[in-house]
Amino acid sequence: MTDDLTPAGRALVAAGIDHDVRDVTGVTSVEEAAERQGIATDHLIRTIVLRRGEDDYLFALVPGGRNIAWPKLRAHLGVSRISLPDADEARVATGYERGAITPFGSRVAWPVVADATVPGMGTVAMGSGRRGTSIQLDADAMLDALDADIADLT
């Protein structure tokens, strides 16, 4: 099933990326979202918005159950400081509400850095741009379409 009703769905369709939209209404954890979709927790990719400076953001793609190792991320990006914007700032930067953020169809095509464990995962799930739904797609197709920088982030 494709979803062309959200900016993310339209971006995926325009890029020719096969994907499915899944209902995850009411889930309260990464583990519950993964179970609902029938995938392993580490195949649920969290999109984290990061701020490098004023009006300078990027997306980090991190598998569920893993956390960013901040020193590794800062070293990879060559910065001494990076922060998490609050929910309102993230919405302004991306056009999406926290909990539904995805790089696909974002208000600005911010750079993407993905954890080195993501390539080769096969089917993964990520935010769809709309709360209560998730997108399933091939990890390598996702990374290619986003021109993601791959790095050891966790």
Residues 60 and 73: beta-carbon distance below 8 Å: yes
Please state the pTM of the whole predicted model: 0.93
Query: What pLDDT band is residue 6 in, cutting at 50, 70 and 90?
Result: confident
Stretch 5-13: mean pLDDT: 83
**Which superfamily is assigned to 7-151 in CATH?**
YbaK/aminoacyl-tRNA synthetase-associated domain (3.90.960.10)
pLDDT score at 9: 84
| Mean pLDDT of the 85-94 span | 96
pLDDT, position 123:
97
- Average pLDDT score over residue span 31-52: 95
Q: What is the 3-state secondary structure (H, E, C) of the chain?
A: CCCCCCHHHHHHHHHCCCCEEEECCCCCCHHHHHHHHCCCHHHEEEEEEEEEECCEEEEEEEECCCCCCHHHHHHHHCCCCCECCCHHHHHHHHCCCCCCCCCCCCCCCCCEEEECCCCCCCEEEEECCCCCEEEEEEHHHHHHHHCCEEECCC
